[in-house]
Structures are given as C-alpha cells and as structure tokens.
C-alpha cells in the first residue's frame, strides 16, 4: 500500500489490487468496511468488469480494487472454475494501458488467489523481515516462483527482495542484510524499510505513510523504494509493469 501510494505520488498512474481476504491494504489506504462495496470477489467469481469495481483513493493517481472477507470463499470457489489460474490475468489485461503500475497485494499463503496474482504479474517483490526465520522461507518461495515460471507464467521475474523491519542498532538486522546481499547481490533493493513507530501507526488512521508523516524515516524509505521500482521499470521497455507483492 505504501509503495503504491509513493508510486502515485511520483506521478505514476497506479492501481492497487488487494488480493487478501483480510483486506489490510484496503483499510490502510482509507476505505472503511462496507458490505455493499464491489470488490475483487465480484470480478473473479461473478465476472463483473474491473471498471465497475475500481475506487478512487485519497492519493491522487492511485486507484484501488478493494478486498473483503468474501475473498476467503473465492479461493474455494475458483477450484472448479475453468482456466482458474488465469482469471485475474484476464481481468487485469484491459487495464494495462491505463496504468503505469499495477500492484497486487497477496496474502501470506500460496492459495489460488496468490497463484492468480503470480500468473497475472510481470514481477514479484519479496518483503523479508530482518530475522533468521524469515530467511528460511526465501528459498522455498524462490522454488515456488521457478515452478510457476516453468508452468504458468514464463515471463515472471523477481522485482527485488526488500528488507523490512530493519533496525540498524541490532547485530541481527545488519547480519541478515549482509547475508542476503552476499547471496542475492543486486536482486536486493538498496532501500531498507526500518522499524518505525510512525510507519506502524499510519494504517490505524487509514493513511499511507506519506500522508500520515511525510518527514518520517518510513516515508523516506518508501519514497526511495518507489524510485528504485520506477528505475527498474524504465530498464524493461515494452514490458508490463504489473507487480505482485508477496505477503511471505
């Protein structure tokens, strides 16, 4: 959500698609719960067009396709659907000319919703907490991405690995960062997302960090990350700028 907001603030037309039934991204960008609101569920299961579901956010240039708890049922209902892994890709395709970036926020599980996002995406951004247990999940995630490339989405790339909850005061954070950079090299973003009180507070107010406290370290970090993502996209002329944000 913060990355999408910073991309929009950098005058990049951006669409945020919340693929998680917990709807955290939807709430964090300022949308209160509303049972009557059309969501991603209506697009995937009821085949409603995205142009009837897209919501304008408080950030100029940032549109949102919201989620709600019904998405939990969508993962089950998709099992029997034809071309079930490609439902989201088909729905997103008509929107690619309208937006510079389409960011898909995924749940922290490899269910059919996440699989749909990975098939629809051009690249994957992998956030990793600066803890050793988080490191153990990286290789498993990369193995999964390789399988998806072999079978469902040959063009899927790794946008980058993002270090989050970084605390420069601790040896552990510094060591995890060093280990990741030595192993993955330039695939690790230069930007680091710090442990930051203002960053943690912002979602409870329904605001991206750049609206809640533009001068915080968290806002500076996400702004820098957005610059890196834009620079990466400029190096890939002719490719779509769809990015799945893994919840892993």
- Beta bridge partners of residue 245, listed in sequence order: 105, 125
Q: Which domain holds residue 56?
A: 2-245
What strands lie across the sheet with 157-166, from one edge to the other? 55-56, 62-65, 14-18, 101-105, 242-245, 123-129, 157-166, 188-194
pLDDT at residue 162, as a whole number: 95
pLDDT, the chain, mean: 90
61-80 pLDDT, tens per residue? 999 999 999 998 887 888 88
Residue 13: give its domain's CATH number.
3.40.50.300
- Domain count within the chain: 1
The pLDDT of residue 240: 47
Residue-wise pLDDT for 23-60, tens only, equals 999 999 999 999 899 999 999 999 899 989 999 999 99
Of all residues in the chain, the percent with pLDDT exceeding 70 is 95
Q: According to the model, what pLDDT value does residue 82 have?
A: 84
Q: Which of 101, 87, 76 is nearest to 50 (CA)?
A: 87
pTM comes to 0.91
Greater confidence (194 vs 108) lies with 194
Cα separations in angstroms, 202 against 30, 127, 207: 10, 19, 6
């Amino acid at each position: 959500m913060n990355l999408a907001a910073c991309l929009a603030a950098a005058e990049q037309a951006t669409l945020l698609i919340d693929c998680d039934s917990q709807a955290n991204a939807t709430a964090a960008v300022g949308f209160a719960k509303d049972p009557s609101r059309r969501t991603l569920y209506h697009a995937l299961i009821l085949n409603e067009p995205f142009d009837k579901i897209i919501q304008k956010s408080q950030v100029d240039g940032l549109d949102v396709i919201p989620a709600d708890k019904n998405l939990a049922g969508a993962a089950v209902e998709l099992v029997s659907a034809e071309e079930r892994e490609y439902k989201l890709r088909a729905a997103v395709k008509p929107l690619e000319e309208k937006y510079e970036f389409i960011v898909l926020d995924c749940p922290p599980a490899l269910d059919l919703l996440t699989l749909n996002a990975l098939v629809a995406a051009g690249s994957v951004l992998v956030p990793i907490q600066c803890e050793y247990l988080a490191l153990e999940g990286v290789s498993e995630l990369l193995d999964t991405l390789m399988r998806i490339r072999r079978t469902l989405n040959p063009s899927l790339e790794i946008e980058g690995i993002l270090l989050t909850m970084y605390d420069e005061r601790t040896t552990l954070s510094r060591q995890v960062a060093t280990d990741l950079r030595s192993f993955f090299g330039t695939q690790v973003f230069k930007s680091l997302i710090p442990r930051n009180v203002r960053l943690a507070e912002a979602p409870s107010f329904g605001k991206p960090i750049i609206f809640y406290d533009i001068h915080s370290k968290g806002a500076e970090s996400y702004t820098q990350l957005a610059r890196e993502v834009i620079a990466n996209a400029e190096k890939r002329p002719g490719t779509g700028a769809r990015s799945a944000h893994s919840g892993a």
